[in-house]
Structure 1
Amino acid sequence: MCLLDNLLSKTKFKGSFEKFIQKKFYHKISANSITILGLILGLCSALLIWLSPFYFDNIYILIASVVFLGISFFFDTIDGAVARIEDSSPFGGILDLFCDRTVEVIIIITIISTDTSLFWPGIFSLGAIVLCITVFLAIGAAVNEEKLKRSEKIIYYARGIMERGETFLFLVVLILLPIARLIILWLFAFLVFITAIQRLKVGYDLFR
């Protein structure tokens, strides 16, 4: 899923985590319902960011926003584990991809809306996300059926330096440090663009 997840997957934590998910969530709530809950919590996080300037960027409001975002990302981890246990339909993967990107984009748009000086780095960040997901989906659509069957996801997953876990860390810092948002957004845009280039290289290696 991301560089951080890749490190965790090499430890005993992954197996214990999936056993925990199976015990606590299996047959109690569907993977798609968890995905939707994660989306709603992500939107609540964005709402708190939007409200924060009216309270002089009150740190408690920003911390609450991070808490909502953290639970949203945790649900994103849970829904994948539940989906694997349930052997869910491909639509679950599509819904998950849509909700993930919606939360990320809405958070960035909300942050931009609170400070006009963030317009350009924000636009470049959103543009980099578009490029990154475009290459990601293009590779997934082009991979042949044999390679697709070997993937745990509904489409071939081309890894890069900025993925879900890394994006979460950047968003947390963006929310909690309003004074540094300009620099952080530019850095985020650059790293996401690098990820798009990395995925383009994966496509070249696969199909040249």
Structure 2
Amino acid sequence: MFDNSIRPKIDPILIRLARHIADAGISANGVTLIGFALGCVAGVLIVFEAYWSALAFLLVSRLCDGLDGAVARLTHKSDFGGYLDIVLDFAFYGLIPTAFIIANPAANAVAGGVLLLTFYVNGASFLAYSVMAEKRGVDESDRGSKSLLYTIGLAEATETIIVFVLFCLLPAWFSLIAWVFAAVVAWTTLSRFMLARQTFGRD
């Protein structure tokens, strides 16, 4: 929901940082892999309930997620790079709730499991819509230059990062936050389903 409004504000900063990274000879795929590795460190720290340290690694990981696309645009965009980015994004989004479940299964397992289920279904709806929209030549260029066609929803990258930050800041409230965000993600999935029905028809 907030991605479109935030992007114009952060893109100039990302581009400046990306130039330094590209000049250092680090590829966009390298930035993607570094970001995911940092996200894995955050997950391990969460398992050991080192939430403040995990938060620092989580935020730098997501900074890398924004920088990899900027580096690619300055150097070389590739289909494999887009593929790698989306796969590792989904891996990261599943990793953080799973880490909280492992850290405190008695308190977090049910809410975390439901959140992961909504992530799974929402991810499937996102990828299926992207494939069908590309097939039909649907234009959503206002979403920026991306390897996959993105659709607007209540739960996008910005909202997910905010929720993950809240998880780290308020770990005792994980279940309540997870239940609320699971409902938001489910609504996003339903909205995308209605959009797909309107865009693609019933044929």
Output the TM-score relative to the length of structure 2: 0.89
SS in 2 for 1:119: helix
For 1:99 and 1:174, the matched residues in 2 are separated by 20
The residue aligned with 1:139 is: 129
Gaps in structure 2 of 5+ consecutive residues: none
**Is 2:76 the partner of 1:87?**
yes
RMSD: 1.8
Q: Which moved more, 1:120-129 or 1:173-182?
A: 173-182
**Is 2:27 the partner of 1:30?**
yes
**Is 2:98 the partner of 1:109?**
yes
For 1:148 and 1:31, the matched residues in 2 are separated by 25
For 1:184 and 1:118, the matched residues in 2 are separated by 11
Question: After superposition, where does 1:1-208 map in structure 2 within 5 Å?
Answer: 3-11=1-9, 13-14=10-11, 16-27=12-23, 28-52=25-49, 61-115=50-104, 116-143=106-133, 144=135, 146-147=137-138, 150=141, 152-208=145-201
SS in 2 for 1:26: helix
Shift of 1:46: 0.7
For 2:140 and 2:71, the matched residues in 1 are separated by 19
For 1:113 and 1:18, the matched residues in 2 are separated by 34
Structure-2 change in CA distance of 1:182 and 1:156 (3 Å):
same
For 1:145 and 1:91, the matched residues in 2 are separated by 22
Q: Which moved more, 1:173-182 or 1:28-37?
A: 173-182
Once the two structures are superposed, residues 122-154 of structure 1 have per-residue CA deviations (whole angstroms, 9 ceiling, x without a partner) of 111011001101111111111226336957222
For 1:18 and 1:111, the matched residues in 2 are separated by 30
For 1:179 and 1:120, the matched residues in 2 are separated by 14
Shift of 1:4: 3.0
Gaps in structure 1 of 5+ consecutive residues: 53-60
Is contact 1:148–1:154 with CA below 8 Å preserved after alignment? no
SS in 1 for 2:137: helix
Counting matched residue pairs gives 196
Identity %: 28
Letter matched to residue 34 of structure 2: L
Output the TM-score relative to the length of structure 1: 0.87
Letter matched to residue 113 of structure 1: I
Once the two structures are superposed, residues 87-140 of structure 1 have per-residue CA deviations (whole angstroms, 9 ceiling, x without a partner) of 311111111111111112111111011222222111110110011011111111
Shift of 1:42: 0.3
Letter matched to residue 26 of structure 1: A
